[in-house]
Structure 1
Amino acid sequence: MAKRHDFTAAIEWTGNRGAGTSGYRAYDRTWRVTTPGKPVIHCSNDPALGGDPGLHNPEDMLLSALSACHMLWFLHLASDAGITVTGYRDEPLGIGESEASGAGRFVAAVLRPTITLADPGDADRADRLHGEIHKVCFIARSVTFPVSVEATYA
């Protein structure tokens, strides 16, 4: 039987300029995410949709969560396999599409980690771990779009 995990957060809209949503341009697309005991994350909509480009948007956070989950599982599996990772940096790419109606979605994501190994001879074994991660990563198992990995090793 699967073990249940509950995750909580509070999302609070902070964009009321005083007139609420009385008009499409009368309010800001900003909010904050609070999770007990953790720093507040200030967010906004995508800049293309009137958001603040200096704040995280939902698409940023989904792509970051996907990349971070993959990284954490990679580190775990590498440790189990006796592969010593000394550095990991990802610059993932999320590919989205928007319909004329404004409806949008991710159609794919590409994780592009650069991974530093203590022993460069472990690169082939390390590369094989990526295929196992999508079987266990909480986020990757939850999204419906394809996720590919283009890892490089240093």
Structure 2
Amino acid sequence: MVKEHGYTARVRWTGNRGQGTTGYRAYDRTWDVATPGKPVIHCSNDPLLGGDPGLHNPEDMLLAALSACHMLWYLHYASVAGVVVLAYEDDPRGEGEVAPSGAGRFVSATLRPRITLAPGSDVAAAEAIHERIHEVCFIARSVAFPVGYVAEYVVATG
């Protein structure tokens, strides 16, 4: 039996400069994401489309969600397998395309985690964990483009 989950968020446009959408340049592409009990995230559209480069955009958040989901499953599977992870950071990269109509989409994403393992760790066992994650990661299983990974491992010394 499949167990269903529900998620909520409030997205509130903050870009009305007083004239609403009376013209294409009359408003800002900014908004806030508010989830009950959590800090508000101030957002803008992609800087390539005139957005504020100092704010998160939907593409940033999707890439971060893919990375975080993978990381959380990795840490879980590592703990079960006896692989001791001391540090984990990722610099994921998403590749997109934009059609002449302006419609865009992600065509792929590559996670690039740098994982620090405890001294004496089995790097092959640490690497094998990644393959299982795409079977269970909620976010990766929900997107319509391939998500790969290129991991780097550092085994801490003594």
Normalised-by-shorter TM-score class: over 0.9
Kept after mapping to 2: 8 A contact 1:30/1:44:
yes
Kept after mapping to 1: 8 A contact 2:83/2:121:
no
Q: Tell me by how many angstroms 1:14 deviates.
A: 0.2
Kept after mapping to 1: 8 A contact 2:114/2:151:
yes
Distance 1:22 1:138, change over 3 A: same
Q: Tell me by how many angstroms 1:86 deviates.
A: 0.2
Residues 80-139 of structure 1, C-alpha deviations (whole Å, 9 max, x = no match): 001100000000000000011100000000000000000353211010110100000000
SS of aligned partner of 2:78: helix
SS of aligned partner of 1:121: coil
Q: TM-score, normalised by structure 1?
A: 0.98
> What is the aligned partner in structure 1 of residue 72 from structure 2?
72
> What is the aligned partner in structure 2 of residue 107 from structure 1?
107
> What is the aligned partner in structure 1 of residue 44 from structure 2?
44
Give, in whole Å, the separation in 1 of the partners of 2:119 and 2:81: 13
Give, in whole Å, the separation in 2 of the partners of 1:39 and 1:105: 28
> What is the aligned partner in structure 1 of residue 118 from structure 2?
118
Kept after mapping to 2: 8 A contact 1:120/1:153:
no
SS of aligned partner of 1:12: strand
User: 2:96 corresponds to which letter in structure 1?
Assistant: G
How many residue pairs end up in the alignment? 154
Correspondence list, 1:13-32, <5 A: 13-32=13-32
> What is the aligned partner in structure 2 of residue 128 from structure 1?
128
Q: TM-score, normalised by structure 2?
A: 0.96
Kept after mapping to 2: 8 A contact 1:44/1:51:
yes
> What is the aligned partner in structure 2 of residue 142 from structure 1?
142
Residues 32-87 of structure 1, C-alpha deviations (whole Å, 9 max, x = no match): 00000000000000011111110000000000000000000000000000110000
Kept after mapping to 2: 8 A contact 1:42/1:56:
yes
Distance 1:120 1:64, change over 3 A: farther
User: 2:130 corresponds to which letter in structure 1?
Assistant: H
Give, in whole Å, the separation in 2 of the partners of 1:120 and 1:14: 52
User: 1:93 corresponds to which letter in structure 2?
Assistant: R
User: 2:33 corresponds to which letter in structure 1?
Assistant: V
Instruction: Provide the identity percentage.
Output: 69
RMSD after superposition: 0.7
SS of aligned partner of 1:86: strand
Q: Which runs of 5+ in 2 are unaligned?
A: none
Q: Which runs of 5+ in 1 are unaligned?
A: none
Which portions of structure 1, spanning 4 or more consecutive aligned residues, are displaced by more than 4 angstroms? none
